[in-house]
Amino acid sequence: MQLPTPVFDANASAGGGKDLGDLPEWDLTDLYASPDAPELKRDMDWLEEACEKFAADYEGKLADLTAEEMLDCVLRHETIDMVTGRIMSFAGLRYYQQTTDPERAKFLSDCQDKITTYSTPLVFFSLELNRIPDEKLDALFEANADLARYKPIFDRLRLMRPHQLSDELERFLHDQSVVGATAWNKLFDEWIAGLEFTVDGEVHGIEGTLNYLTEQDRSKREAAARELARVFAENLGLFARVHNTLAKEKEIEDRWRNMPTPQYGRHLANQVEPEVVEALRDAVVKAYPKLSHRYYELKRKWLGLDTLQVWDRNAPLPMEEQRTVDWPTARGMVMDAYSGFDPKMAELAEPFFDKGWIDAAVKPGKAPGAFAHPTVTDVHPYVMLNYLGKPRDVMTLAHELGHGVHQRLAAGQGELLSSTPLTLAETASVFGEMLTFRKLLDEAKDDAEKKVLLAGKVEDMINTVVRQIAFYDFECKLHDARARGELTPDDINALWMSVQAESLGPAFEFMDGYETFWAYIPHFVHSPFYVYAYAFGDGLVNALYAVYQEGDPGFQEKYFEMLKAGGSKHHKELLAPFGLDATDSAFWDKGLSMISGMIDELEAMEA
């Protein structure tokens, strides 16, 4: 059992400012009251016994079960997953609140070790299921409608059938995981959280330092960028070791599993065809000139510069008012946008603010970025932010609440079917951002404010689509190169730079030291090839929002039904009610044309 993988979102960034109001903190008591709570010990003891009994009852017998017996087996497995998820969610969320706290790190590791040991007897389950002939399983589904509801789980497991190892090797990989990728992930998290950067005589963590890159004062942006480069360079050996080890570990396991490409396992997990991802990737790369290249040329002119430096990429526009959005205002902005779409959406989001489901403040040792973690289906999600009041932080709030609403709706599917593939997991979050943006745009008091809002949205979409596809290309190159041998820090730097100029365009120059900026991106460490899910989600939502704007009858109801489906349906089935199909190459062009259209509007304002 892995600790909950945080979904560190693409545009999450801390803002600046004080007097933000009463920022909420997590109340984790809905999971457990404390690390020494008797309920936690009870659940841990139950889990050990339940795993042993499950194996005793079912190992070597799955092929002979009746439909009713198979249903009981699946339900017992689901309960084990629920208890495991509750424990690891509690341990993981406590850890992310303060990754530098040795006690929290130890507690997480101890939980991880125990659950890995307890769950080893369960490894047989998927292996045996995949040895049952398709026709026999199909007959069980036909015989019992309650069992048939779980067919998507069986289908997902069977995707791995060609890549399944021997029972003994699968058990070894399961046991070894706590000192493999999981351990390297923790090292990365703790190291990043412990880094210190000095800007203008003040010491900051990585969140506060990245925040300076969105300051009006260009000298502060430059100072922060150079300080980031200095500290990354000092720690580059460790980051290179983390990436070398994880990429090699993945290459070894992929080779044993006969995975055709390093990306293939992610595609299987996302239930998306490799050709769909490549169609998305190719469409975005082809669109670089009409998207990022064109926009950044506009921004270069607005800033009055001959060339843009990397510290200008997320700079505010000269006409943009320096503004700090306090927490109550941010809450009101997002909730108004949600309720304007449908009051039900606001009702689902409301408890996050009032019941301790959000941890918003920037604190020493806290994990950087933002995420929404669904925990287990009989509790509720938790949202983590690093909120310091920039307008972009409001969009991050809208984004994470979208995840939270999606996770609450999908919880009705139960523990095994609620988890949404990454390609669709970004749908509600990006849609929530779009609703908030459109409401603010409609309420803009003049063309200058509209221009700032449009430019900000275009930048976010470029960060979500162009930047993430460039990240995907970097990862593809990294894993391909690592398969041929150890990579020095300079090797990885060169791979990083090979995608930057292509994606950002000729308006940019790149300072010495920018070549190290791959080092702090958590996605490369936690979830290899995750990043294309952002571009997938943004393109999907742009196409979906176009259908909404066209006045599609019953859109809201169909939208909620899509979110409720969780992981129970394929993306083709989920998008069909909206007349959309991600396997159609024109689908991606439709999504990208929305970004291009916004840049058209910005160019027209210059005329």
pLDDT band (50, 70, 90) for residue 1: very low
Q: Which tens digits make up the pLDDT trace of 459-515?
A: 989 998 999 999 999 999 999 999 999 999 999 999 999 999 999 999 999 999 999
User: Rounded to an integer, what distance in angstroms lies between the CA atom of residue 408 and that of residue 387?
Assistant: 23
pLDDT at 8: 45
Q: Cite the beta strand spans of 326-443 per DSSP E.
A: 358-359, 371-373, 382-384
Q: Give residue 316's region: left, alpha or beta (phi > 0; psi -120 to 50).
A: beta
Tens-place pLDDT, residues 562-578: 999 999 988 889 999 99
**Residues 505/298, Cβ–Cβ less than 8 Å:** no
Burial class (CB in 10 A: 0-12, 13-18, 19+), 344: middle
Q: Which domains are present in the chain?
A: 36-181 (1.20.140.70)
Residue 433: band (very low, low, confident or very high) from pLDDT cuts 50, 70, 90? very high
Are the C-beta atoms of residues 207 and 386 closer than 8 Å to each other? Answer: yes
Residue 287 and residue 596 in contact, taking contact as beta carbons nearer than 8 Å: yes
Contacts of 598 (CB under 8 A, 6+ apart): 454, 457, 458, 461
Q: Give start and end residues of each alpha helix (H) in 59-180.
A: 67-97, 102-119, 124-129, 134-143, 145-148, 151-159, 167-176
C-alpha atoms less than 13 angstroms from C-alpha of 463 in its C-beta half-sphere: 16
> Per residue in 198-218, is it b (16+ CB within 10 Å) or e — as a string?
ebeeeebbbbbbbbbbbbeee
- Cβ atoms of 338 and 345 within 8 Å: the answer is yes
pLDDT higher than 90, residue 36: yes
What does the angle CA 517 – CA 520 – CA 523 come to, to the nearest 5 degrees? 115
Predicted TM-score (pTM) of the model is 0.81
Q: Is 45 exposed, middle or buried (0-12, 13-18, 19+ CB in 10 A)?
A: exposed
Who contacts 351 (Cβ-Cβ below 8 Å, separation ≥6)?
357, 380
pLDDT at 18: 61
Residues in the chain: 607
Binned at pLDDT 50, 70 and 90, residue 553 comes out as confident
